[in-house]
Structure 1
Amino acid sequence: MRMATARDVAIFREFSAPATVVSLNDSHIAGELQSVIEDLPLQVGDPVNKGDVLARLDCRDFQWEVERVDAQSDGLKARLDLAQRQLNRADSLKGSSSMSEQDYDQRRAEVQALSSELRAAKAALKAARNVVSKCVVRAPFDGIVLERVAGLGELPMPGTPLLRLLDYRNLELSAQILAEDVAALPDDGVAQFELGQARLPVRLRRLVPVVNTVSGNQEARFSFTEARPPVGAAGRLIWRDPQPYIPAELVVRRQGKLGVFVNQGGLARFHPLNGAQEGHPAPFDLAADTPIVTDGRYLLEEGMSLH
């Protein structure tokens, strides 16, 4: 009789599904102003860092608006200073025959009105400067330029794409898994992305809880734990079912049931395998160090000595 532990004879089913490397940010970068494009310094394929200039728009009209509002603020400040000095003098004369209650209230109201106007002008100045800052379109993330959508001299509307920018650092693997195979995903989420001859380790981040009614697939998103392949690379997601199986050739039938013989204190004990099918590997729940009879099993009966 020959025996081997359940750990040594166990086999694990391997599953696969089509998978593609995708970027978390594939963005069409647009301007927020309607103005002529003065500069597009980048070409297709150029790398950029977050904050780099992608485009410059003609900003003269917006800068003039800043100057106008700034001058208006200065005028209001001067008027407010004068009104405040007049109110201070009125305070010293209040109650005398030379300063009526009505005149005093009028000067106080003028100070309050000019204060409100100045606050509004300062807010308008901040808004105008914010508009000027939008004349320079900057990269919202590190990436590469995939496409120049607009050209120099064009007058795009707000929201019109100028360039297409791809984030090549924040990547995920998108796999389309048959809904019936989802249950076989390992609990720890560990799998591999097969790309050509290479297998790259990945880990499940999220299983989308929606089944495509046409394909019967569920999308699963995986994070790369080591090397990151290029965006758009297509291959196969490979994972192993964590459920161990007994090879079909070790399964025998006794009293109408399929199972295996194990060594229990030197005696053969038949262990039924629930769900086993003739000619197919069968799932089992034996401890990993359980000794299983591999040779001579066909002649065994329950309780026979294995010595």
Structure 2
Amino acid sequence: MGLPLSVLAEGEGAARATPVTTVRVEAADLREVTHVRASIESVNAPTLHGKVAAEVVEILVDEGDPVKRGQVLARLDDEGFRLDKEAAEADIARLEATLANQLLTLERDRKLFKKGLIPDDKLDASRTAVKQTRASIVHAKALLKKAEYQLSHTVIEAPLDGIVQARMVSVGDYINPMSPASKPLFQIVDTRHLRARLYFPDILAARLRPGLPVTLIQGADRVETRISQLLPMIDDASLAKIALADFDNVRNWPPGLHISADVVLSEHHGVPAVPEGVLVRRPSGLVVYRLAADGETVREVRVKVGIHEGGRVEIIDGLRPGDEVVLDGAAYLSDGVKVAPTTATEPAR
């Protein structure tokens, strides 16, 4: 005896149902992240030059030595400047003594002039002598300041805490800052405060701004910082838009290191998100297959996507949080197809 037609129809329908796994659309926080190359440099790496012409008589540090701000690095011959200082001091003392006598003479001549005992040209001569001596004192004091300035710059000091990157002079070298062939003395590098130079493709230039979060990456090490500055021009050598990100050197990275960086271009909070695997490309565009209210059929839904992060994608239009969509098997479906759904064990990532 044959089976009832209703039983046959039920069996055939069950056979036609496509087995699929489904996931629910989640409300998620997503970040749009771009991965770029970067290089590390010191924020402060001054090159020290001599300010006076003199011979190097003592070198107290070498390349690789740590130094503190104010530490003496080298000394230049100061004998000539000391003699200039002593001469200026002697001139000032002599001129001040002369001025004291001239002031006494001027006062005496004023009294004599009032009594009509001397002519006016004699009084004028006394006044002129005082003015000339005062001018000479001003000049001598200027020479003293110059000698003191030159003398102070015979001692070369570190302008900051750091490490000697380069020593360009030796004892016996003659330093002449006015000469075109003049060479620097030292380069000091501050390794505590560093800067990352980030290289972006020019297509992203309009989206960059100070304050964007940056994760600097060197092997397993990570340093969090933010973009601090943007350089105005595209770099000729790399054809890249360059951004700068300052940071404290907590990982003891050396300046000159080449690393990579993740930069957050935008952040969207509480947006519908699905695994990238639910997306199917059709001639009409990207679609997903949403489980219908009957739980047995699917509807083809065209979607507009946004941020991709960690295997998840933002759905800008077409789905809402809580919708159930097909993950495994989606590529083989079409609108209205009957399915046999099971819930995926993995979350929407």
TM-score range, shorter chain: 0.7 to 0.9
What SS class does the counterpart of residue 26 from structure 1 fall into? coil
C-alpha contact 1:14 1:241 (8 A) present in aligned 2: yes
- What is the TM-score with the length of structure 2 in the denominator? 0.72
- CA deviation digits over 1:160-183, x for unaligned, max 9? 212222121221111222212445
Instruction: Name which of 242, 249, 257 aligns with 2:266.
Output: 242
CA–CA separation in structure 1 for the residues paired with 2:287 and 2:232: 37
What SS class does the counterpart of residue 104 from structure 2 fall into? helix
Instruction: Name which of 66, 74, 98 aligns with 1:55.
Output: 74
- Mapped pair 1:137 → 2:156: yes
Instruction: Name which of 112, 117, 136 aligns with 1:98.
Output: 117
C-alpha contact 1:203 1:225 (8 A) present in aligned 2: no
Q: Which amino acid aligns with 1:231?
A: P
CA–CA separation in structure 1 for the residues paired with 2:55 and 2:319: 72
- C-alpha change, 1:143 and 1:132, in structure 2 (3 Å) is same
- Mapped pair 1:218 → 2:241: yes
Q: How many residues align?
A: 296
- C-alpha change, 1:59 and 1:255, in structure 2 (3 Å) is closer
Percent pairwise identity = 24
- Rg bigger for which structure? 2
CA–CA separation in structure 2 for the residues paired with 1:115 and 1:226: 57
- Mapped pair 1:114 → 2:133: yes
Q: Which amino acid aligns with 2:257?
A: A
Which sits farther off after the overlay, 189-198 or 290-299?
290-299
C-alpha contact 2:99 2:134 (8 A) present in aligned 1: yes
Deviation at 1:3, TM superposition (A): 2.3
The aligned residue for residue 170 of structure 1 is 193
The aligned residue for residue 34 of structure 2 is 15
CA–CA separation in structure 1 for the residues paired with 2:152 and 2:244: 37
- Mapped pair 1:71 → 2:90: yes
- C-alpha change, 1:294 and 1:287, in structure 2 (3 Å) is closer
Deviation at 1:97, TM superposition (A): 2.5
- CA deviation digits over 1:220-266, x for unaligned, max 9? 11122672422222211123442667544334689945456889x99
**Which structure 1 segments of 5+ residues have no match?**
302-307
C-alpha contact 2:25 2:319 (8 A) present in aligned 1: no
The aligned residue for residue 128 of structure 1 is 147
- C-alpha change, 1:232 and 1:215, in structure 2 (3 Å) is closer
The aligned residue for residue 3 of structure 1 is 24
C-alpha contact 1:201 1:225 (8 A) present in aligned 2: no
The aligned residue for residue 198 of structure 1 is 221
- C-alpha change, 1:255 and 1:6, in structure 2 (3 Å) is farther
Instruction: Name which of 285, 291, 299 aligns with 2:322.
Output: 291
The aligned residue for residue 305 of structure 1 is none
- Mapped pair 1:209 → 2:228: no
C-alpha contact 2:302 2:318 (8 A) present in aligned 1: no
- CA deviation digits over 1:63-122, x for unaligned, max 9? 111111111111111111111011111222232121222211211121111111111111
- What is the TM-score with the length of structure 1 in the denominator? 0.81
- C-alpha change, 1:206 and 1:259, in structure 2 (3 Å) is farther
Q: Which amino acid aligns with 1:199?
A: R
CA–CA separation in structure 1 for the residues paired with 2:245 and 2:85: 49
Deviation at 1:39, TM superposition (A): 0.6
Q: Which amino acid aligns with 1:161?
A: P
